[in-house]
Amino acid sequence: MSSSSSRSIEKRTETLDTIAAVLPIDRRDELAELLTDQDVETLRHLVNEGMGTNTLRALTSDLAYLQAWSLAATGASLPWPAPEALALKFVAHHLWQPEQREIDPHHGMPDIVEQSLRDQRFLRSTGPHAPDTVRRRLASWSTLTKWRGLTGVFSSPALKSAIRLAVRATPRQRRRKSAKAVTGDVLAKLLATCAGESLRDLRDRAILMVGFASGGRRRSEIAGLRKDQLTIEAPITVEDGPPLPSLSIHLGRTKTSGTEHDEVVYLTGRPVDALNAWLAAARIDSGSVFRAIDRWGNVSKRAIDPKAINDIVKQRAALAGLEAGQFSAHGLRSGYLTEAANRGVPLPEAMEQSRHRSVQQASSYYNNATRRTGKAARLLP
């Protein structure tokens, strides 16, 4: 590698470091080598423009994948703007028919491209991609093209037709992000596996309780939670016992909130105690709330990766004797609404905590709970 190339990579690494507080990047060094100077500059520009953290994280992930795919498929970096033929090639490589590949081994993504993406940890699943994933990456590609002041081909009739025909030819059953919801009874089993006083137990207990009780927060919101987002509130008075501790969590802009809207949710009682116990044991008084813990018990200074939230839910499910593959971090979100429905909490009140914007989406959990326990499902008791 030439000295000028090394300096360029070092410069990109430093730039990625400057935006890490807003855009956590766990593969910084790899991205510095993969992305171009203009790619990294675009990301920094988006940070300065105030784009939401979750959106930035998704754009960075998609940009890295697109760049890796372009290098593997064409031997060259992603061109800006992209020609229509390259976008169509992307669709052909990711939306294909397994039955056709058995007849034609050249159908779909070429083996050499697939292996390159697997070696770089960009590709884990087998078979064609989910249509929603392909659409999201194309949308990210289009967004980044526009932010560079260029005009893309992503609204072309040929591309839209190719996606529509490919999806129709490879029907996929839509699956929930978490096959099973983490309802109150399931949560109790998960919490029983982290009832100890080790740092890992304290952290996982706080993650599970805060993630669920705050309305079923998304894993990115849990992982990105910072100390300055927490505000101690006046204790809640109850009839049969001492006052309960309370705090508010200022989520800022979320996936579904408006640009200038600051979302706020509340914690009361045991989740607050669990969170305070973790913060005290880990000696965290500023910065990221939830952090990685190494094998020697050292607490990292950086935020835990969002994927780790998913891993924690699965690990605790396995320890509880449950089928880990049936649960994910999203189960905390669906579980919160399902539990609220089971306990008779009014839908508007539950949505105030979950911050669902769509009544239709949130009400589906209530409808399912009503149908499961209703008379129509008990004609033969």
* Cα–Cα distance measured from residue 337 to residue 361, given in angstroms and rounded to the nearest whole number: 10
Helix (H, G, I), strand (E, B), or coil: what is residue 288?
strand
User: Which residue type does 363 have?
Assistant: S
Here the tokens at position 274 are 């669990």
* Cα–Cα distance measured from residue 208 to residue 188, given in angstroms and rounded to the nearest whole number: 10
Instruction: Please enumerate in sequence order all residues whose Cβ is within 8 A of that of 233, keeping only pairs 6 or more positions apart, or say none.
Output: 246, 247, 248, 266
* Cα–Cα distance measured from residue 314 to residue 323, given in angstroms and rounded to the nearest whole number: 8
The residue segments making up the domain with residue 253 are: 184-376
Same domain? 149 vs 200: no
Same domain? 98 vs 226: no
Domain-located, residue 54? yes
Domain-located, residue 102? yes
pLDDT of residue 244: 93
pLDDT of residue 259: 44
What is the pLDDT tens value at each position of the chain, 381 positions in all?
556 666 666 666 666 665 555 454 555 666 667 777 777 777 777 777 666 666 777 788 888 899 999 999 999 988 889 899 999 999 889 887 877 777 888 888 888 999 999 988 888 877 788 888 888 889 889 888 888 888 888 888 888 888 887 777 665 544 445 568 888 899 999 999 999 999 999 999 999 999 998 888 888 899 989 999 999 999 999 888 889 999 999 987 555 544 455 688 899 999 999 999 999 999 999 999 999 998 889 999 888 988 899 999 999 999 999 998 889 888 898 888 888 888 877 777 777 787 866 666 666 666 565 555 555 555 565
Same domain? 249 vs 199: yes
Domain-located, residue 178? no
Domain-located, residue 287? yes
Same domain? 248 vs 344: yes
Strands (E), the chain: 230-236, 244-252, 263-268, 291-293, 299-303
- Label residue 364 exposed, middle or buried (CB < 10 Å: 0-12, 13-18, 19+): middle
Measured at the alpha carbon of residue 150, what is the angle toward residues 145 and 154, in degrees to the nearest 5?
Answer: 55
Same domain? 8 vs 125: yes
Instruction: Please enumerate in sequence order all residues whose Cβ is within 8 A of that of 182, keeping only pairs 6 or more positions apart, or say none.
Output: 190, 212, 313, 327, 331, 332, 334, 335
Same domain? 85 vs 157: yes
Same domain? 7 vs 44: yes
Domain-located, residue 179? no
Same domain? 327 vs 216: yes
Domain-located, residue 174? no
C-beta of residue 215 within 8 angstroms of C-beta of residue 355: yes
Helix (H, G, I), strand (E, B), or coil: what is residue 149?
coil
* Cα–Cα distance measured from residue 223 to residue 290, given in angstroms and rounded to the nearest whole number: 6
Domain-located, residue 177? no
pLDDT of residue 254: 52
Here the tokens at position 348 are 């508007």
Among 169, 200, 216, the domain boundary falls at 169
C-beta of residue 145 within 8 angstroms of C-beta of residue 87: no
Alpha-carbon torsion, ordered 15, 20, 25, 31, to 10 deg: 0
Alpha-carbon torsion, ordered 69, 70, 74, 75, to 10 deg: -90
Domain-located, residue 229? yes
Same domain? 27 vs 158: yes
Instruction: With CA atoms as reference, report the closest residue to 215 among 367, 328, 337, 365.
Output: 337
Instruction: Please enumerate in sequence order all residues whose Cβ is within 8 A of that of 341, keeping only pairs 6 or more positions apart, or say none.
Output: 347, 350, 365, 366, 368, 369, 370
C-beta of residue 91 within 8 angstroms of C-beta of residue 84: no
Same domain? 142 vs 190: no
Same domain? 220 vs 290: yes
Among 169, 201, 222, the domain boundary falls at 169
Question: CATH number, domain at 246?
Answer: 1.10.443.10
252: left (phi > 0), else alpha (psi -120 to 50), else beta? left
Here the tokens at position 71 are 């290098």
User: Which residue type does 319 have?
Assistant: L
* Cα–Cα distance measured from residue 178 to residue 174, given in angstroms and rounded to the nearest whole number: 12
pLDDT of residue 233: 93
Same domain? 101 vs 49: yes
Here the tokens at position 25 are 């990047």
Among 169, 202, 228, the domain boundary falls at 169
**pTM beyond 0.85, yes or no:** no
Q: How many domains does the chain have?
A: 2
